[in-house]
Amino acid sequence: MPHDNGRIYGSFKKICIPEVELKKEAESILPNLISLKIDWETGQISDSQLTFQIVLLYLERRVKRHPFLRMGKPLPNRNQSKEFLEVVRFYGMPDTVRFALWKWHIGEWDIRLIDYNPSSLEMLESQSHGYRYSTISWIDAMNGSLVEGKRDAFEHLLHDLAHAYMFFREDYDFEGQKQFFREMYLDYSKYESILDTNPIFRTKFDYCISDMNSHPAHLSAYWNAIRREAGISIG
C-alpha cells in the first residue's frame, strides 16, 4: 500500500501527497469535484471523459510546473481530449495510465467507471466477460481520506487504470486472461467452503481474481501454487 505509517511509495509516489495534506487539497478542489460528479451522474460526460478531467484536475493541483509533457512541441488544446491523450505524457506516472485512458477514450478497451469498490467476485465476473472496472471514490475524494486506508482517491483511480492496461495489453494475451477468469468464475462455488475457513488462501485467491493481471501462463502457475499450498488437489 502506498501510504504506510506516513511513508509514501509505489509507482505513483512522485504525485502522491502526505495523508495530512489530503483534506486541505479536497477543500480546494471540492467545487470542481461536485461539478464533475453532477455532469457524470446526469450523463453530460462519459466515464472516460470524467476520468480524463479528474487526471487533469489532480495533476495540475499537485504538480506546479509541467504536469503534462510533450517534448519540443506546444501542448494541444486540452478540450480536444483525443489528441491530448495521443501525444501528451503525464508527469510522475507510468505511461500505462495515459495509454489505458486513451484506449478507453477511443472505445477500443472496455473499461467501466463505478463509484464504489467492487468485491473480488465482482471483479472476477467482469474480467470473465472481458471488461475491467475502475473506481472513483467520491466520498474519499471529497473528504480527503484514503480509500480503504491505502490510497487517496486519485491514486486509487490511477492504480485501476494501470491494472486495466495489464489486462488489455496485447502481449499479455487478453483473450487468454479472459478465458482464465471465466473458468475461475465458473468454478468459484467449488472453493467457497475453503475460502470461508482458510484466510490465507482467501487473501491469495482474492488477489489472483481481482488484482493480478498477467500472462495466462503466470496466472495459472500462481493459481496452481496457492491451491497446492492450501492442500487442494489439482485435477
pLDDT tens digits, residue range 180-219? 999 999 999 999 999 999 999 999 999 999 888 889 999 9
Residues 6 or more apart whose CB falls under 8 angstroms from that of 78 comprise 56, 84
Closest by Cα among 105, 106, 123 to 114: 123
Query: In this structure, which amino acid lies at residue 14?
Result: K
pLDDT band per the 50, 70, 90 thresholds, residue 5: low
What is the average per-residue pLDDT within 8-28? 91
Residues 6 or more apart whose CB falls under 8 angstroms from that of 136 comprise 50, 51, 54, 113, 114, 115, 153, 157
**Can you give the pLDDT at residue 211?**
85
Give me the residue spans of the domains in the chain: 3-121+132-168, 171-235
pTM of structure: 0.92
**Can you give the pLDDT at residue 3?**
60
Summarised one tens digit per residue, pLDDT across range 28-55 is 999 999 999 999 999 999 999 999 999 9
CA-to-CA separations, 16 to 5, 58, 146, in angstroms, rounded: 14, 10, 11
What is the C-alpha to C-alpha distance for residues 162 and 158, in angstroms, rounded to an integer? 6
Report yes or no: 61 and 130 within 8 Å, Cβ to Cβ.
Answer: no
pLDDT band per the 50, 70, 90 thresholds, residue 9: low
Cell 495510465 -> residue: 97
What is the average per-residue pLDDT within 151-175? 95
CA-to-CA separations, 102 to 75, 97, 152, 212, 229, in angstroms, rounded: 16, 9, 23, 22, 40
Residues 6 or more apart whose CB falls under 8 angstroms from that of 173 comprise 215, 216
Give the cell for residue 226: 496457492
What is the C-alpha to C-alpha distance for residues 207 and 12, in angstroms, rounded to an integer? 20
What is the C-alpha to C-alpha distance for residues 171 and 161, in angstroms, rounded to an integer? 17
